[in-house]
Chain A
Amino acid sequence: MKTKRRTMLYIPGNNPAMLQQGGIYGADSLLLDLEDAVALNEKDSARILVKNMLKSISYYNTEVCVRVNHLDTPFGIEDLETIVPLQPDAIRFPKTETVKELKKLIDIIEIIENKHNLPHNKMTIHAMIETALGVQNVFKIAKFSKRVDAITIGGQDLTADMNIANAKDGSGIDLARKMIVMAAKANNIDAIDTVFVDVNDEEGLRIETEYAKKIGFTGKAVINPRQIDIIHEVFTPTEAEIRRAFRIIKEFKKNKDAGIGVFAIDGKMVDAPVVARARHTLDLADIKY
């Protein structure tokens, strides 16, 4: 699992300029989209374009993920046949609802990989939960395969599926958010929050991201590069958090050498989970310890 997936920038698969520039904005991950961002009459051209971009453009150290069309559409299989041989870091599968369809997806991917002598453990899968049924099955989906290393929530489709208004406070999908996070945590994989659609509302984005972080998401999808810095700021630990984490690790090492597993800092108990959290904090801040 990647240490950091704070931001995942959506890039429409039919936009050459945006595809070309995807790697420059400092997002942790890119999502080259063949699905909802691409009109029906441009599905094939987007597929060809994404294929060639993956072959020729450097995205530097950014994780690259391709969202394919669902297998129920006429485009899903061809998307996989085109993209899987190029082995992007991940394939995102939209509207995942059942383990059965996830199994079908993985079977197809592995057939293609076999055909091209490719390993089965390099490219991962992100399952996107966008329906009420998907939310109900999310734990099983997250648990089904080691290839699934992130679960994401598609807020727009989910509100449509639930036939509710897309409230700014996200109250309608709050339970879904928390179930998805819990399923991801239970399987030790990433949980990525849905997009914030108003690109001019920086304060709203910050509030929603802070909430996502608070309930356990590891990152958030991004629809405009201008949103990246704010989300990174929220998900990056503060100086005080880093200092405390560093101190915990230092004290932990000292106590461990003395054979002590539980100790106190400033009167607060430090045990294994606290140490694990401190390590995660330092990982997020790119600090070696």
Chain B
Amino acid sequence: MKNAINREIPNKIKYIGELEPFMGAWEKLKKGWMDEISVPPPNKAKLPHQKKICDTLKEAILKTNPQSGMTLTYHHHLRNGDDILVKAISILAELGIKDITLASSSLNESHDALLRYLEDGTITKIWSSGIRGELGKAISKGILKNPVVIHSHGGRVRAIHTGKIKPDLTIIPAASADEEGNATGAHGKSAFGSIGYARIDARYGKQVIVVTDNLVDYPCNPIGIRQDFVDYIVKVDSIGDPTKIASGTTRITKSPMDLRIAKLAADVIEHSGLFDEGFSFQVGAGGASLAVAKFIREKMKHKNIKGSFMLGGITSYCVEMLKEGLFKTLFDVQSFDAEVSYSLLNNKHHIEIPASLYANPFNCGCMTNKLDVVALGALEIDTDFNVNVITGSEGNIRGASGGHSDTASGAQLTVIVCPSFRGRIPIVTKKVHTVVTPGESVHVLVTERGICVNPKFPELEKRLNKAGIKTRKIEELEKEVDEIVGTAKPIKFTDKIVGLIEYRDGTIIDVIRQVAEC
């Protein structure tokens, strides 16, 4: 069947059941309640003063009585420095557990070693917001029998609430924890800041193990993960490599092109009609996206504007803006370096939030709904303004949906910042390989070769033109890019579906097909 953006999707996937086609960015939410109900979280019991501490991760896993066919959920706050997920899966494999559904909030290069467990049938299904590195390549080539499901950060919470993801075992690495399981990411030698993505896992995990390399005296404060949801605690020497946990994406780029794009984007934001006292703002980490914050910071100082809040992935740059009084509050679902952890711990206006409050579409108003402006990157964007952030130019899975579609859906102004081409690869194209964020939720594209406003928003274009900002049609830009880089030979795919792209409301917006061997 075809969905609302004319993408062909299957009616049914064996292990998931009937699929619901994407109907439009807000169509399913319009009536104000959802037909899907929340499944009840598990009830558990512990006797007074019963010990939760285990000597090893293996001991803790054994106590949870793992079974083949189970679902393991996990968070990705440790980013590329994660040491625990591969260890946990290798223990399960050693115990002979097969057919695991892995539902980690994201997967990256630190999880390359999981490849052998996909090959030997230990892991057979994956739900995640992103897949990078060797796993992405192998999945794209069809290593798994079942398609992976790519969801957004908000969509993941919805999927757990509605029982699509049923966590049998949840493992939560924490930078500090106490003997009852109260845990945080905000302090400790492996501090990673907010632990916001793991809060839903803790609530729904039938068995929950907290793993820490910094066991502190009771009570661990602040309480990111609550003891009443935690079954076992394990103290290990290290939960990961702190140098890779702090991602290094918090420095403002020196790339003249990224800076040029960011400056143009900041000009667009300034004249959008939203750049005013009390405005709210989100940017990604690294590249042109973070550099937008640099120019917005200068403009806010120049115009003496004070914002309301910054949201989402918080960088030390956001912390600086909070300290300067440019924004009143930081809402932090994911943080990027040590300085952010310090701020989260010590500044009462820097607030940790769970992923549900951040972006879950099935509630009475997540914070992305309150956003004025978001600046986001793209791997590809097409002439319908649909954005791909998951598959690369060779067709392989190599990116992350993350909060892209959540924030685009919520913000009053969604600005995509990206170069029009990279090397010889067109970024602005006629049709993206994979749609993650629908064009109807994208207002404007800013590239080094011009600014294109989505024709659905003519008032915005008029306003920008009136302010002296030149705009051009996206079709013209696509043509210019094609003339510069030349038309590439299309990638060959087989009929096999290796990935489903869930929109944040659970409908299917696109599929990823297996890349054919050359």
Known contacts being A21-B448, A24-B448, A24-B449, is A225 close to B480, with CB within 8 Å?
no
* A181, B256: Cα distance in complex, Å: 30
Assess the A26–B256 pair: CB atoms within 8 A. Answer: no
A20 at the interface (CB under 8 A from B): yes
Asked if A264 is at the interface of the complex by the 8 Å CB criterion, the answer is: no
Whole-angstrom distance between the Cβ of B28 and the nearest chain A Cβ = 40
Q: Measured between alpha carbons, how far is A25 from B256 in the docked complex, in Å?
A: 8
State in angstroms the CA–CA spacing of A59 and B374 once bound together: 30
The verdict on B484 contacting chain A, using a C-beta distance below 8 Å, is yes
Q: Is the CB of A26 within 8 A of B480?
A: no
Which of B257, B263, B449, B480 sits near A229, CB closer than 8 Å?
Answer: B263
Residues of A within 8 A of B448 (CB): 21, 24
- Give the distance to chain B from A204, nearest Cβ to Cβ, in Å: 17
Compute how far the CA of A58 lies from the CA of B477 in the bound complex, rounded to whole angstroms: 12
Partner of A25, one of B254, B260, B480: B260
Q: Which residues of B contact A24 (CB under 8 A)?
A: 257, 260, 448-449
CB pair A57–B484 under 8 Å, yes or no, is yes
**Residue A224 CB within 8 A of the other chain:** yes
**A225 with B484: CB separation less than 8 A:** no
Contacts of A225 in B (CB 8 A): 256-257, 259-260
A226 and B259 contact, Cβ closer than 8 Å, known pairs A20-B484, A24-B448, A24-B449: yes
Closest to A21 in B: B257
Query: Which residue of the partner chain B has the closest CB to A199?
Result: B254
Residue total for A at the interface (Cβ-Cβ under 8 A): 11
CB distance from A49 to the nearest CB of B (A): 15
- Contact yes or no, B484 A26, CB < 8 A: no
Chain B proximity of A26: nearest CB distance (Å): 7
* B260 x A224 contact (CB < 8 A): no
A226–B262 alpha-carbon span in the complex (Å): 12
A224 touches B484 (CB 8 A): no
Which of chain A's residues has its CB closest to B448's CB?
A: A24
Kindly supply a per-residue 1/0 record for chain A positions 17-30, scoring 1 wherever the CB is within 8 Å of any chain B CB and 0 otherwise. Answer: 00011001110000
Quick one: which of B206-264 are within 8 Å of A by CB?
A: 254, 256-257, 259-260, 263
A-side contacts of B449, CB under 8 Å: 24
Is the contact region of chain B dominated by helix, strand, or loop, or is it mixed? helix
Q: Which residues of chain B are near A229, meaning CB under 8 Å?
A: 263
User: Please, which residue of chain B has its CB at the minimum distance from the CB of A24?
Assistant: B448
Q: In residues 390-435 of chain B, which contact A (Cβ within 8 Å)?
A: none
Considering the chains assembled together, what is the distance between the CA atoms of A57 and B485 in angstroms? Answer: 11
Chain A residues 191 to 224 lying within 8 A of chain B, measured CB to CB, are 224
| A224 and B256 contact, Cβ closer than 8 Å, known pairs A21-B448, A24-B448, A24-B449 | yes
Shortest C-beta distance, B252 to chain A (Å), equals: 11
Give Cα distance in the complex from A20 to B424, angstroms: 11
Bound Cα distance from A216 to B211, whole angstroms: 68
Main secondary structure of the interface of A (DSSP, over half): helix
Least CB separation from A229: chain B residue = B263
A21 to B449 Cα, complex, angstroms: 9
User: Within residues 54 to 69 of chain A, which ones have a CB less than 8 A from any CB in chain B?
Assistant: 57-58
CB distance from B195 to the nearest CB of A (A): 37
Report the minimum CB–CB distance from A251 to chain B (whole Å). 26
Contacting residues, chain B, for A58 (C-beta < 8 A):
480
Closest to B468 in A: A286
State A57–B484 Cα separation when bound (angstroms): 7
- Distance in Å from the Cβ of B38 to the closest Cβ of chain A? 50
CB-CB under 8 A from B263, the residues of chain A are: 229
Chain A residue nearest in CB terms to B421: A20
Q: Which residue of A lies closest to B257 (CB)?
A: A21
Q: A24-B449, A25-B260 are in contact. Are A226 and B254 (CB under 8 A)?
A: yes
* Shortest distance from the beta carbon of B372 to any chain A beta carbon, whole Å: 25
Contact with B along A64-98 (1 / 0, CB 8 A): 00000000000000000000000000000000000
Measured between alpha carbons, how far is A229 from B291 in the docked complex, in Å? 15
Interface positions of B from 325 to 372, Cβ below 8 Å from A: none
Q: Which residue of A lies closest to B483 (CB)?
A: A56
What's the Cα separation between A164 and B60 when bound, in Å? 74
A260 to chain B, nearest CB (A): 35
Taking the closest CB of chain B, its distance from the CB of A70, in whole angstroms, is: 29
* Chain A residues whose C-beta falls within 8 Å of the C-beta of B259 in the assembled complex: 225-226
* Nearest-Cβ distance from residue B46 to partner chain A, whole angstroms: 58
Distance (Å) between the CB of A45 and the closest chain B CB?
A: 19
- B257: chain A residues at CB < 8 Å are 21, 24, 225
- Counting chain B CB atoms within 10 Å of each CB, the highest count among A20, A25, A26, A224 belongs to A25
Q: A225 to B257: give the CA distance in the assembly, Å.
A: 8
Name the distance in Å between A21's Cβ and chain B's nearest Cβ: 6
Bound together, the chains give a CA A279 to CA B407 distance in angstroms of 47
A224 proximity list for chain B (CB < 8 A): 256
A105 to B256, CA, bound (A): 35
Q: How far is the CA of A26 from the CA of B259 in the complex (A)?
A: 12
Q: B480 and A226: CB pair below 8 A?
A: no
Q: Which residue of A lies closest to B447 (CB)?
A: A24
Query: B264 to nearest A CB, angstroms?
Result: 9
Bound Cα distance from A21 to B480, whole angstroms: 13
Residue of B nearest to A9 (CB): B256
Q: How far is the CA of A20 from the CA of B421 in the complex (A)?
A: 11
A86 to B384, CA, bound (A): 38
Q: Shortest Cβ distance from A115 into chain B, in angstroms?
A: 30
A26 to B449, CA, bound (A): 10
A-facing mask of B476-487, CB < 8 A → 1, else 0? 000010001000
Residue of B with least CB distance to A224: B256
Q: Which 6 A-B pairs have the closest CB atoms?
A: A225-B256, A24-B448, A226-B256, A25-B260, A24-B449, A24-B260
Known pairs A26-B260, A225-B257. 19 more at Cβ < 8 A? A20-B484, A21-B257, A21-B448, A24-B257, A24-B260, A24-B448, A24-B449, A25-B256, A25-B260, A57-B484, A58-B480, A224-B256, A225-B256, A225-B259, A225-B260, A226-B254, A226-B256, A226-B259, A229-B263
| CB<8 Å pairs between A and B, sample of 12 | A21-B257, A21-B448, A24-B257, A24-B448, A25-B256, A25-B260, A26-B260, A58-B480, A224-B256, A225-B257, A225-B260, A226-B254
Interface residues of B, Cβ cutoff 8 Å to A: 254, 256-257, 259-260, 263, 448-449, 480, 484
